Structures are given as structure tokens and as C-alpha cells.
């Protein structure tokens, strides 16, 4: 990888060789970057991001032949958001990787690194359903950061519903992971609602049979309608009446 390791003993290398190596390195870089694309103001990328502390986030590149597939999937999901959403939320990059590890812990889904405005999505062992849920889950963290974390605001109404939920019976929780804390809980609510048909149907069934979960959905979607300019509430209420 590091062709310029030759500079340790420059006298042994002819200038021509070094120039040829520089050109090769540049061509390789272009080849890797070819799949990257800016879409709705966000750079979708597949290559290494050097300015993220590599001790905090580590990952491997995905096989290039899979780039297009995942890029199309990401783009079709991004199109479901209102115009200007990603610019307004200040998301700069979505990076699709494998073997994602954050601070020494492997991540099945993804992670949102707020100080770099970047979402990583891990593809290991993932079905499309899981991949899509992971993307929307991380987008909820992005929204959360913008409206709450940044100003150190606690969402008291959410915490009340979280505390009224039951970790052993799953009453109020859409998934195991949702039980972790209020923030993961709402990321799971949002991620599941935005999921594929089966996931979405499970969500609606749960909302019909679980009062606390229903209240969470209403609270989150009202917030989206009033504060984020993304109206999920009206659709949800219609779906509940079917």
C-alpha cells in the first residue's frame, strides 16, 4: 500500500520509478473512488476515510462488485425523506463498509459519528431488511443529535414512556436492542417503521396491541411532523385504522 516507503532509501530508487509509482497510486485511487457519489447533498462512499480516528472506528472495504447494489439501496431509501432533509440535518457522508468496529466493539448495524457528520453502515451478514433498518436507525440518531444531544436536552416524555415499558415482557419495546436506553429505543421505533413490508407490518400490529408502544409512535411522529418537517404521523394514523 505505502509505495512511498521507498523514500527510506531514496538513493536506491530511480526518479522515473518513483514517478511511475505515483501515477499508479493515483490511478488506483481513482479506481477506488469511482463508486463514490454525491446524492441529495450527502457523499455516499466506499473507500477509506482518513480523518476519522482509526483507533475509534475501524472497518474494511466492501468488495467493489457490491458497491452499486448497496448504493442503489441507500439512494432509494434516501428518496423517502423530504426535500432538503439531509442538508438540514447536516449529514455529510454515508459510508458503506464491512467489519465495522467502534471503540473496540464490533457493530452489526451501523454508527453515527456526530463530530464528523458521518453514518457508517456495516454490511456483514445483513439482509436488506436489516441494512435498511440500520440506515434509518442511524438517521434517527442524527436527528436526535441535532435536536437534543447538541443542547443537552432530555426528552422527558420519552423517558416516561421508556420507564413505563417492561424489559422482561417486551411491553412497549419493538426489539431487544430498544431496551438499552431511551435513545436506542426511539432509533429502533423509527428504524422499524421505515423498514421493509414485514417489519412495517410487525410495527403496526405491535402499535395496535401495545398501548405504550403506540404512545411512543405517536410521540415520535408528532415530533417529526412539528419539528423535523417530515410528516409520518398522518400516514401512521391512517395505517392504524386499516
CB 169, min distance to Zn ion, A: 22
Residue 143 engages Zn ion in binding (rule: CB under 5 A) = no
CB 144, min distance to Zn ion, A: 9
d(CA 112, CA 134): 11
CB 39, min distance to Zn ion, A: 23
Number of residues that bind Zn ion (CB under 5 A): 2
> Based on CB atoms, which residue is closest to Zn ion, 138 or 210?
138
Residue 232 engages Zn ion in binding (rule: CB under 5 A) = no
> Based on CB atoms, which residue is closest to Zn ion, 35 or 187?
187
Listed in sequence order, the residues at least 6 apart from 225 whose beta carbon sits closer than 8 Å to its beta carbon are 231, 232, 233, 234
d(CA 86, CA 112): 14
CB 110, min distance to Zn ion, A: 8
94 beta partners: 44, 119
Q: By CB under 5 A, which span of 61-69, 126-134, 184-192, 230-238 interacts with Zn ion?
A: 184-192
Q: By CB under 5 A, which span of 7-15, 118-126, 182-190, 202-210 interacts with Zn ion?
A: 182-190
CB 67, min distance to Zn ion, A: 25
Return the exposure string of 173-205: e unless at least 16 CB atoms fall within 10 Å of the residue's CB, then b. Answer: bbbebbbeebbbbbbbbbbbbbbeeebeeebee
CB 103, min distance to Zn ion, A: 14
Q: By CB under 5 A, which span of 158-166, 176-184, 210-218, 231-239 interacts with Zn ion?
A: 176-184
Q: By CB under 5 A, name the one of 121, 132, 135, 187 that touches Zn ion.
A: 187
* Residues in contact with Zn ion by the rule CB under 5 A: 184, 187
Amino acid at each position: 500500500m505505502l509505495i512511498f516507503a521507498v523514500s527510506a532509501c531514496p538513493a536506491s530508487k530511480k526518479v522515473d520509478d518513483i514517478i511511475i509509482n505515483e501515477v499508479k497510486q493515483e490511478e488506483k485511487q481513482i479506481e477506488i473512488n469511482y463508486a463514490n457519489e454525491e446524492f441529495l447533498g450527502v457523499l455516499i462512499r466506499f473507500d477509506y476515510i482518513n480523518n476519522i480516528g482509526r483507533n475509534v472506528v475501524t472497518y474494511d472495504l466492501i468488495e467493489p462488485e457490491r458497491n452499486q447494489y448497496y448504493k442503489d439501496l441507500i439512494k432509494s431509501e434516501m428518496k423517502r425523506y423530504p426535500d432538503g432533509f439531509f442538508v438540514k440535518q447536516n449529514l455529510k457522508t454515508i459510508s458503506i463498509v464491512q467489519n465495522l468496529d467502534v471503540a473496540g466493539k464490533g457493530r452489526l448495524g451501523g454508527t453515527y459519528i456526530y463530530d464528523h457528520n458521518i453514518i457508517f453502515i456495516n454490511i456483514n451478514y445483513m439482509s436488506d431488511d436489516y441494512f435498511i433498518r440500520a440506515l434509518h436507525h442511524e438517521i434517527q440518531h442524527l436527528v436526535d443529535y441535532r435536536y437534543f444531544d447538541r443542547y443537552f436536552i432530555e426528552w422527558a416524555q420519552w423517558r416516561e414512556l421508556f420507564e413505563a415499558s417492561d424489559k422482561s415482557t417486551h411491553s412497549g419495546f419493538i426489539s431487544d436492542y430498544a431496551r438499552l436506553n431511551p435513545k436506542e429505543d426511539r432509533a429502533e421505533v423509527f428504524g422499524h417503521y421505515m423498514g421493509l413490508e414485514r417489519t412495517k407490518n410487525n410495527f403496526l400490529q405491535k402499535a395496535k396491541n401495545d398501548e405504550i408502544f403506540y404512545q411512543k409512535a405517536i410521540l415520535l411522529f408528532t415530533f417529526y411532523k412539528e419539528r423535523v418537517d417530515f410528516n409520518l404521523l398522518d400516514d401512521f394514523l391512517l395505517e392504524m385504522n386499516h
